[in-house]
Amino acid sequence: MSGRHSGEAPTHTVEGTDPRLFVQVHEPQDAAIGNRPVLLIHGFSSSSALNWEATGWVAALLGAGRRVITVDLPGHGRSAAPDDCDSYSPSRIRADLLQIVTDAGARPLMSGDSSSGLDVIGYSLGSRLAWEFGATQPELVHRLVLGGPNSADPLADFDLSAAQQHLADGTPIQDVSTAGLLRMAQLLPSNNIFALLSLVEAIKSEPFDAAEAVPHMPMLLVAGDQDERAVTLPVLASIATAAGTAVKELLIPGRNHTNVLTNRAFKQAAIEFLAP
């Protein structure tokens, strides 16, 4: 089932600034179904078009009668690349996301009302943001789906100075993870590479501690069984379970961190899990 989208959402203001994030609200053909909206949060150096549209997620959710909210993170896709580092901090991004979904009509959960609240699907870095968003917005978030999650943030160990030196004069980067992440970031022409480095710097200033604030709404954790990050999925599950959260785990055979999003079983499992 195809859907309609409203294009870029109206400019909003958070803490007195305009982050100029590119937002789209996709409407299902049958808008009268009344299911709660779904917010999609993409990964590092990607975009909503790459993670969610090209892989069929938006179409699948629209086909299930869901209203879909997509946003490009700062410095990614069609969003602006602010000069100030604070605009890239996870806490600031969460504040922007809250304003975005409020502007799009999401409202607090009400018992017996399947149109109230918000479901959130995050991938990779988006999973970290979704975890923290759910933990800080329990009155709004109904359920979480976290794809390619990690119990620690891979960007926390990113060698920022080595990356900056490489961009300046081509000096080889010794750290394999840093070199790989930078190479991935440079593959997408729409990315502002210096903005992405500001994002890394901001993330380093707010390290991810999954146990510090745990979401209490039900969550589905999904990873490809060939994804090196999949080994930490049970760690996240145990942290959430210890806090009293209902958790489901799903490993997708033969998929890695790059291609698991295209898997049909992942989409179907998420849609069924998020059913009202």
What's the pLDDT at 142? 97
Least confident of 77-91, 104-118, 180-194, 203-217: 180-194
pLDDT of 127 higher than 80: yes
pLDDT of 209 higher than 90: yes
**CB neighbour list of residue 58: distance below 8 Å, 6 or more residues apart:** 3, 26, 40, 52, 68, 70
Local confidence band at 216 (pLDDT 50, 70, 90 cut-offs): very high
212: its two tokens: 């510090």
pLDDT of 4 higher than 70: no
Q: Which long-range contacts (CB under 8 A, 24 or more apart) does 156-165 make?
A: 156/203, 156/204, 156/207, 156/208, 158/200, 158/204, 160/197, 160/200, 160/201, 160/204, 163/197, 163/200, 164/197
Write out pLDDT tens, residues 149-178. 999 887 888 888 888 888 888 898 888 888
Tokens 């209490």 -> residue: 216
Which domains does the chain show, CATH number per domain? 3-153+193-273 (3.40.50.1820)
Task: Tell me how far CA of residue 116 lies from CA of 38, 56, 180, 238, in angstroms.
Answer: 11, 25, 41, 29
Burial letters for 123-132: b for 16+ Cβ neighbours within 10 Å, e otherwise? Answer: bbbbbbbbbb
CB atoms within 10 A of CB 213: 12
Write out pLDDT tens, residues 62-79. 999 999 999 999 989 899
Local confidence band at 235 (pLDDT 50, 70, 90 cut-offs): very high
The three-state secondary structure class of 273 is helix
183: its two tokens: 């190479």
What's the maximum distance between 2 C-alpha atoms anywhere in the chain? 60
19: its two tokens: 């982050």
* Maximum mean pLDDT: which of 18-32, 71-85, 236-250: 236-250
Q: Which residue has the higher pLDDT, 19 or 202?
A: 202
Local confidence band at 29 (pLDDT 50, 70, 90 cut-offs): confident
What's the pLDDT at 14? 46
Least confident of 136-140, 188-192, 246-250: 188-192
Is 78 within 8 Å of 47 (Cβ atoms)? yes
What's the pLDDT at 31? 57
Q: What share of the chain is helix, strand, coil (3-state, %, to 5)?
A: 40, 15, 40
Is 182 within 8 Å of 270 (Cβ atoms)? no
The three-state secondary structure class of 27 is strand
The sheet that has 118-123: what strands, in order across it?
A: 3-8, 23-28, 68-71, 38-41, 118-123, 141-147, 219-224, 247-252
The pLDDT > 70 percentage for the chain reads 91
Q: What is the mean pLDDT of residues 24-46?
A: 86
- Identify the burial level of 26 via C-beta atoms within 10 angstroms of its C-beta, where 0-12 means exposed, 13-18 middle and 19 or more buried: buried
